[in-house]
A = this chain, B = another copy of it.
């Protein structure tokens, strides 16, 4: 497909922007979301892929109001595990677990992660493409409170509480973006980094071998949407991770983190080092999601 819009996404912020973008592009196939897989975890017999699934559930309008998982899902298996005396730190709904069990079975059968994830999108009727950033395993590790955590452990069991002492993306240096990812970036008319946590949601994508070069080589302008809304981060522990980078929690801090990657920033406060589209980046409903997505495309077109 020619000239897709590419969104780089981690958790909720990127997923919301992708949902807005779905309303803006001419056809769903014009939207390609490259999703972070650094949070993936094998648990409860399943292959859990939090960010690609979150994006898929958002695009399918099946995200639950709680902010993760499938709308109206039940939790019988997790209740069963607890009744068996297990400490369930990672909660998965029953239909969500079915998704993860099926994906694990496909991967065990030799499928690429890209194809296993495409099957999820297909099952949910999502015609936009949701691409795992890589088929090779990359695992985000966080050092905090004197121990090393997987990202989901840190966010859930550790409640995302700082200070963070180190962040690393195990496997990233040897993992390449997939052919699908590289093709989408090369063909894109615009590349938008969603307002997800820069360090732990977008960081793993940028850490892939060859990813920064691929973004530089693309003819498309790259713009990032700041996750900071009126000076605050709405969801997740972006602040503690930005603090670890030594950058301020403002547009300049975000622009600094993305230095060498972005051509422009969309934020509600101005950045000094990069062209900024200053606009309200709150995406509280479908209208505002669509408005921010449109603003990104217009801004990117002006930078191209």
Q: Which residue of B lies closest to A122 (CB)?
A: B85
Q: With an 8 A cutoff between CB atoms, is A247 at the interface?
A: no
Q: Are B46 and A123 in contact (CB under 8 A)?
A: no
Per-residue interface assignment for chain A, residues 105 to 125, with 1 indicating a CB less than 8 Å from any chain B CB and 0 otherwise: 100000000000001100100
* Bound Cα distance from A83 to B125, whole angstroms: 12
Q: How far is the CB of A107 from chain B (nearest CB, A)?
A: 11
* Bound Cα distance from A31 to B81, whole angstroms: 27
Interface stretch, picked from A72-80, A163-171, A198-206, A296-304, is: A72-80
Q: Are A45 and B94 in contact (CB under 8 A)?
A: no
Q: Are A123 and B80 in contact (CB under 8 A)?
A: no
CB contact under 8 A between A85 and B123, given known A76-B94, A97-B77: yes
Q: Are A97 and B123 in contact (CB under 8 A)?
A: no
Q: With an 8 A cutoff between CB atoms, is A26 at the interface?
A: no
Q: Are B81 and A98 in contact (CB under 8 A)?
A: yes
Q: With an 8 A cutoff between CB atoms, is A150 at the interface?
A: no
Q: Which residue of B lies closest to A81 (CB)?
A: B98
* Bound Cα distance from A102 to B76, whole angstroms: 14
Q: With an 8 A cutoff between CB atoms, is A101 at the interface?
A: yes
Per-residue interface assignment for chain A, residues 263 to 274, with 1 indicating a CB less than 8 Å from any chain B CB and 0 otherwise: 000000000000
Q: Which residue of B lies closest to A94 (CB)?
A: B76
In addition to A45-B101, A45-B105, 8 A-B residue pairs with Cβ atoms within 8 Å of each other are A44-B45, A45-B45, A45-B46, A74-B76, A76-B76, A76-B94, A78-B98, A83-B98
